[in-house]
């Protein structure tokens, strides 16, 4: 397995170890989980790559105060587990449904195998 996929799997394991439900395929999304979108990748050294994943926390509609409180709790967990650098409120559209969400920017490193 290459360093990009190994880094993604490490991120999944890190989030699961923090007791989060993690999906990597939008077909499997369900409210109360986080989904990992494909990363932005930059080569930082001849062997190491810098990656930036967007981890999106989602909750069921409507986007009311209950959803916000639950989302902010998920954001806290992701930040504490990964060292995320930013988060912003959004809507995640999947299967014809708009879910209240937060996009969390997670810097990550890919190491050579």
pLDDT at 1: 73
Could you read off the pLDDT tens digit of each residue along the chain, which spans 113 residues?
789 999 999 999 999 999 999 999 999 998 899 999 999 999 978 888 999 999 999 999 999 999 999 999 999 999 999 999 999 999 999 989 999 999 999 999 998 86
pLDDT at 111: 84
φ, ψ (nearest 5 deg) of residue 84: -50, 150
DSSP H helices, 18-91, are: 65-82
Cα(89)–Cα(67) distance, rounded to whole angstroms?
A: 11
In terms of Cα–Cα distance, which of 22, 25, 28, 37 is closest to 77? Answer: 22
Cα(57)–Cα(101) distance, rounded to whole angstroms?
A: 5
Predicted TM-score (pTM) of this structure: 0.93
């Amino acid at each position: 397995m290459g360093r990009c996929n190994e880094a993604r799997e490490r991120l999944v394991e890190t989030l699961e170890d923090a007791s989060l439900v993690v999906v990597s395929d939008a077909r499997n999304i369900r409210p109360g989980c986080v989904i990992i979108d494909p990363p932005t990748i930059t080569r930082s050294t001849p062997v190491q790559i810098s990656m930036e994943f967007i981890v999106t926390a989602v909750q069921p509609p409507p986007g009311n105060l209950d959803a916000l409180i639950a989302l902010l709790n998920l954001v806290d967990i992701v930040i504490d587990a990964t060292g995320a650098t930013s988060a912003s409120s959004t809507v995640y559209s999947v299967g014809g449904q708009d879910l209240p969400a937060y996009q969390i920017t997670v810097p990550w490193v890919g190491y050579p195998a």
